[in-house]
Each structure stands twice: as structure tokens, then as C-alpha cells.
């Protein structure tokens, strides 16, 4: 049987509806949203985080971002996003959380 770029998979209706709602604001297709979620899941597994640990890290990051003063302009927002990307602050927080949990597990 030849390998194709796409495969059909049966998914629960509620999951598809959640993906549809999440996809709209991001301008993704339902399939792209599910693929995005699957990629995040792979990253979480690869880092050794539990789902709850990943959620906690993301929530902490989002709280810190919400506490920051809003940018004065689009240029200021762009500068902030580029700085966060270059710092890798969320990625670093996830790594720190993994290290903390590994230390607790010993």
C-alpha cells in the first residue's frame, strides 16, 4: 500500500468541536489545530513534563505577561515579542520546572 501525506483518523466529536473553536481565532483549520496540539503534546513528553506541570508553567508565564504594562505602540509590542523570543523565557521556565521536578523525584 503506498504511503500518502495524509491519513484519515476517527476523533471524538467533542474534541473536533474544541479544535474548531480554538482554531478560529488563530485562523487555523481544524486539522491544523489538532496537529498543533499534537506537536505541543510531543514537546511536553520530550521534556519529561506532566500535563499539569506544562499547564502550570504556561499559566505562570501568562500571569507574568498579564502583569506587565501593555505596550504603548505596535513597535513596542513587536520589540517585546522579539525580546521574549530571543530570551526564550517560556522555554527556560519549562526547563527550570523540569529540573525542579527531577530534583524532587530523587
- Using one digit for the tens of pLDDT, what is the confidence trace for 14-66? 999 999 999 998 889 999 999 988 988 888 888 888 888 888 887 887 787 77
SS (H, E, C) 34-90: HHHHHHHHHHHHHHCCCHHHHHHHHHHHHHHHHHCCCCCCHHHHHHHHHHHHHHCHH
Q: Is the pLDDT of residue 70 over 90?
A: no
Do residues 45 and 35 touch, judged by C-beta distance below 8 A?
Answer: no
Counting the structural domains of the chain, the total is 2
**2 falls within a domain:** no
Percentage of residues of the chain with pLDDT beyond 90: 21
Q: Is residue 21 part of a domain?
A: yes
- Do residues 76 and 27 share a domain? no
Confidence of residue 83 (pLDDT cuts 50, 70, 90): confident
Structural domain span for residue 72:
51-106
Q: What is the pTM of this model?
A: 0.52
Amino acid at each position: 500500500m503506498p504511503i500518502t501525506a495524509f491519513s484519515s483518523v476517527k476523533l471524538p466529536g467533542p474534541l473536533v468541536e474544541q479544535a474548531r473553536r480554538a482554531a478560529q481565532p488563530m485562523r487555523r483549520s481544524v486539522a491544523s489545530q489538532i496537529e498543533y496540539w499534537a506537536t505541543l503534546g510531543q514537546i511536553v513528553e520530550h521534556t519529561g513534563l506532566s500535563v499539569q506541570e506544562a499547564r502550570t508553567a504556561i499559566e505562570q508565564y501568562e500571569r507574568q505577561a498579564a502583569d506587565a504594562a501593555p505596550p504603548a505602540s505596535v513597535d513596542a509590542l513587536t520589540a517585546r515579542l522579539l525580546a521574549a523570543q530571543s530570551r526564550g523565557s517560556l522555554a527556560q521556565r519549562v526547563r527550570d520546572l523540569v529540573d525542579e521536578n527531577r530534583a524532587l523525584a530523587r
